[in-house]
Amino acid sequence: MRGLRVFGVLLSLACTAPEAASEQSELVDRGRLVVSATLFTAPSAGDGAPVRLYAWERGGPAGLPAAHEAFEQGADVVLRTPERVLFRFVDGDPTRRVELAREVLDAPAVTADALAFVVVDEGPQGTASVLHRIADGRDLVLDRTLYALGGLRFAPDGRTVIGVGSVNGGVAGLHAFDDEGRRCLTNCDARVGSPPDQWQPLPSGALRFEGGEAAWEDDAGRTHVVTWRRP
C-alpha cells in the first residue's frame, strides 16, 4: 500500500528603520514562488515524485534546496525535500530554516492558517502513518490508526483534513480527520481481494466541496458524493 505516497511570521511595526523597510519592500516585490527547473521526473512506468528548484517571479532564484514541492504560507515557505524532510523557511529566507518533521512521504496540505502532513512511524507495533496538523501554533496528532495515508487536503472549515488511506490489508478509501478523531467515508469494510464492485472508486482529480459534502468523478466519469462534516 506504499503506492499511496499515492505528503509565517508577519511583523507590523509602527516605526521601521530604513534598512528594515527596504527588506520588507523586497519581500513584497518578489512575487510568487514558481518552479524554475525540474531536476528529476519519473519515467511513465516508473515511480517517484518530481524534484524541482524554485525561484521568485520578480526576485530571481529563491536559494532554497531542491524539493518535491514548495508552498507559500503567508511570508513563509513550506518545503519537502527528496530526503523526506519537511522544512519551514521563515519569510522565505534560506538561512532561517526550521525543521518540522522527517519521514514525510507525501505532499503536505497547506492553507494560510494551517498545515497537515503524514510521518511514517516504523514502531515496535508495526508501520503507522501519523497525521499531524499544525494550527494556531500547536502541533496536534490527529490520527495514527492507518497503515498508509496520503493525498491530504483541508475541508472548507480549515480544520478537518481529508485523505486517502487504508489499514494494513484494507482497500484504500477516503477518511476525514478532526479534533475528535478519524471517520472512514468510503470502503470502510473492504479488504484486499474483495470484488471491485464492493468498493467505491477513489477520486481521479480534485474534490469539490459543497456545504458538508465532498464530490468527485472517478476514471469512468461517474460522480460520487460523501458527507465529510460530522452530524
Instruction: Return all residues near 220 (Cβ < 8 A) that are at least 6 apart.
Output: 201
Least Cα distance to 105 among 125, 89, 90, 127 occurs for 127
Q: Which residue has the cell 515496535?
A: 124
* More reliable by pLDDT, 150 or 191: 150
Q: How far apart are CA 96 and CA 26, in angstroms?
A: 16
Look up residue 180 and give its three cell numbers.
Answer: 475528535
How many CA atoms, within 13 angstroms, populate the side-chain half-sphere of residue 82?
Answer: 13
DSSP 110-171: E-SSEEEEEEEEEETTEEEEEEEEEETTEEEEEEEEESEEEEEEE-TTSS-EEEEEE-TTBP
pLDDT tens by residue, 156-213? 999 999 999 999 989 999 999 999 999 999 999 888 888 878 889 998 788 999 999 9
Look up residue 111 and give its three cell numbers.
Answer: 492553507
Output the average pLDDT for the chain: 87
Under the banding of pLDDT at 50, 70 and 90, the label for residue 12 is very low
Look up residue 162 and give its three cell numbers.
Answer: 481529508
User: For the residues 99-128, what does the mean pLDDT come to?
Assistant: 95
Measured in degrees and rounded to the nearest 5, phi and psi for residue 37 equal -160, 150
Q: Which residue has the cell 497525521?
A: 131
pLDDT in the model for residue 6: 37
Buried b (16+ CB within 10 A) or exposed e, 142-161: bbbbbbbbbbbbbbeeebbb
The three-state secondary structure class of 40 is: strand
Look up residue 31 and give its three cell numbers.
Answer: 512575487
Least Cα distance to 216 among 180, 182, 174 occurs for 174
The three-state DSSP-derived secondary structure of 41-78 is CCCCCCCCCCEEEEEECCCEECCCCCECEEEEECCEEE
The dihedral of CA 72, 73, 79, 84: what is its sign?
A: negative
pLDDT tens by residue, 79-88? 999 999 999 9
pLDDT tens by residue, 46-67? 788 999 999 999 988 999 999 9
The three-state DSSP-derived secondary structure of 217-228 is ECCCCCEEEEEC
Q: Rounded to two decimals, what is the model's pTM?
A: 0.84
